[in-house]
Amino acid sequence: LDQIAFGPPPSDVPWRASPDGVDDVDDETMRTDDEADQEAMEDVLNFAASHPSCQIDQADVTAPKTHEKPVIAKSHKAAFFDLDGTIANSNVVAQYVVAKCDQMTTFWKCLWLPLYALKCAFYLVVDWLSRSTFNALFARDFRGMSATRASKKKMAQIVYDKYMHDRVFPNAVAHVNALKEEDYKIVLVTGSLDFMIEPLARVLRADHVIANSLEETEGRYGKGTVFTGKLKGTPVADEEKRVRVMRYAEQHGIDLARSKAYGDSLSDAAMLECVGEAAVVSPSSAGMRRRAEEEGWEVLGWREEHERAGGALAGRAGAAA
């Protein structure tokens, strides 16, 4: 993995899609900023993290346009990746806990963490029943938190440095690199929050990010912009992943029959079904493993290989986390 390295990120890609899903101008709100030795590779990480490289897809919260759209030739191919459990041993709740604890004193953390652990037990049950419902409920935890550009950038960097950086699977990074060499567009399709994963998306040199986005409003008493605790649009999970992938393909000339998709759970199945080649990464349940066998999807053991290697740090071993 020491030989895995990234080239310079592309510099000609606009940042995000407009609310109706059509690429538009930059949005300042979203600008957050695999033999070489460890120090040299950390320089690569820092370089990549400082260069914007991907589009962030925003929830489709507007009415569909009625005018005819131009037909875009399907001349490109893409690789669609779920994030949590597929690229990294991570989850959205842990991301939130890391960001929240950074804002607390030791005393308040000792009080808050046991109580929130009880809430997490409830979340596990809800997630088992419906990933989409879980995403909607989880968004409420952000209600009242600062949503200013500076606050979101700080939260995202803290989560990346303290949590995500060490949890990326090296083989996932190597796979992304290889696909980039084969001219695949790299698209992250995740239930994580858009602003929270921007540092990782930059380092992975993702071409596009489809993620959950939180509603924002002006806070009271001069508090500035805050989160309302609601998601914009439909949660990015289950069938919605298929919808977003197909929309992206239509707008960017992607031939889904020549494209690939990677996921770890049943909530990714709809996305895996709509591409020509699908793979399941370290299936998160017996049900997902059975589904992979039934569909003939390749099963990759990136998590297990990472654990056998002692949980080697993807970023510090020469890959980008």
For residue 260, the cross-strand partners are 79, 277
Residue 74: the pLDDT is 75
Q: Is 308 exposed, middle or buried (0-12, 13-18, 19+ CB in 10 A)?
A: exposed
The whole-number average pLDDT for the span 199-223 is 92
Residue 117: the pLDDT is 95
Query: What global pTM score does this model have?
Result: 0.77
What are the tens digits of pLDDT across the range 17-31? 434 444 443 444 334
The two tokens of residue 75 are 């001349």
Most confidently modeled of 38-47, 171-180, 306-315? 171-180
pLDDT band at 122 (very low <50, low <70, confident <90, very high): very high
pLDDT band at 221 (very low <50, low <70, confident <90, very high): confident
What are the tens digits of pLDDT across the range 70-116? 667 678 999 999 999 999 999 999 999 999 999 999 999 999 999 99
The two tokens of residue 255 are 């031939």
Answer whether residue 302 shows pLDDT above 80: yes
The two tokens of residue 274 are 């709509």
